Amino acid sequence: MQTTLSINGIETEVNAPEGTPLLWVLRDRLGMTGTKFGCGIAQCGACTVHIDGLPGRACVTPVDSLDGASVTTIEGVEGPEADAVRAAWTEIDVPQCGYCQSGQIMSAVALLQVNGAPDDEAIDNAMAGNLCRCATYMRIRRAIKDAATRI
């Protein structure tokens, strides 16, 4: 099935069987391996990308349902929020193993794009469903608050 997407600002035509998850198109067909496979059932958040500006789980989103959509991956996320999140993540040394971090960063950027001064509840709600096996949740929250001050 032919699907046209804008991926990180580049119009891309994808020919994939009906129902193929966006994650596998990004990773296996386009070589964009920053988006991770975690659970395959949209529960861990490792595969989070932005779909038309909103965080979405690439592991359960059929690429054929996205014809004409704009998809942003960790490789292409940019802007003041993304810059602030990256800087805070580095300064606070958020990652431990790092596996979940692309999904965490994509969710944090999406939050800051709609709420420039999130409180703990807003952060918890926005980051719910992004699991970190290393339990760096307190550093993630601190980094999001720090990033908000940098925008």
Structure tokens at 104: 């965490």
Say what the pLDDT of residue 61 is: 98
How confident is the model over 64-93, as a mean pLDDT? Answer: 98
Structure tokens at 64: 């054929």
Average of per-residue pLDDT values in the chain: 97
3 forms bridges with which residues in the sheet? Answer: 14
- Phi (first) and psi of residue 51, to 5 degrees: -115, 115
Q: CATH classification of 80-150 is 1.10.150.120, yes or no?
A: yes
Say what the pLDDT of residue 69 is: 98
**Radius of gyration, alpha carbons of the chain:** 15
Strand order in the sheet with 2-7: 10-15, 2-7, 70-72, 48-51, 54-57
Structure tokens at 87: 């800087």
Q: For 28, what's the count of Cα atoms within 13 Å in the CB-facing half-sphere?
A: 11
Burial (0-12, 13-18, 19+ Cβ within 10 Å), 54: exposed
Res. 57 pLDDT band, cuts 50 70 90: very high
How confident is the model over 79-88, as a mean pLDDT? Answer: 98
Q: CATH classification of 2-72 is 3.10.20.30, yes or no?
A: yes
- The pLDDT tens digits for 103-138 are 999 999 999 999 999 999 999 999 999 999 999 999
CB 92 within 8 A of CB 143: yes
The angle at the Cα of 117, spanning 119 to 34, to the nearest 5 degrees, equals 90
Location of structure tokens 């929020």: 81
Which of 94, 81, 75 lies closest to 142 in space, CA to CA? 94
Domain chopping of the chain, boundaries? 2-72, 80-150
Structure tokens at 96: 């431990």
- The pLDDT tens digits for 10-55 are 999 999 999 999 999 999 999 999 999 999 999 999 999 999 999 9
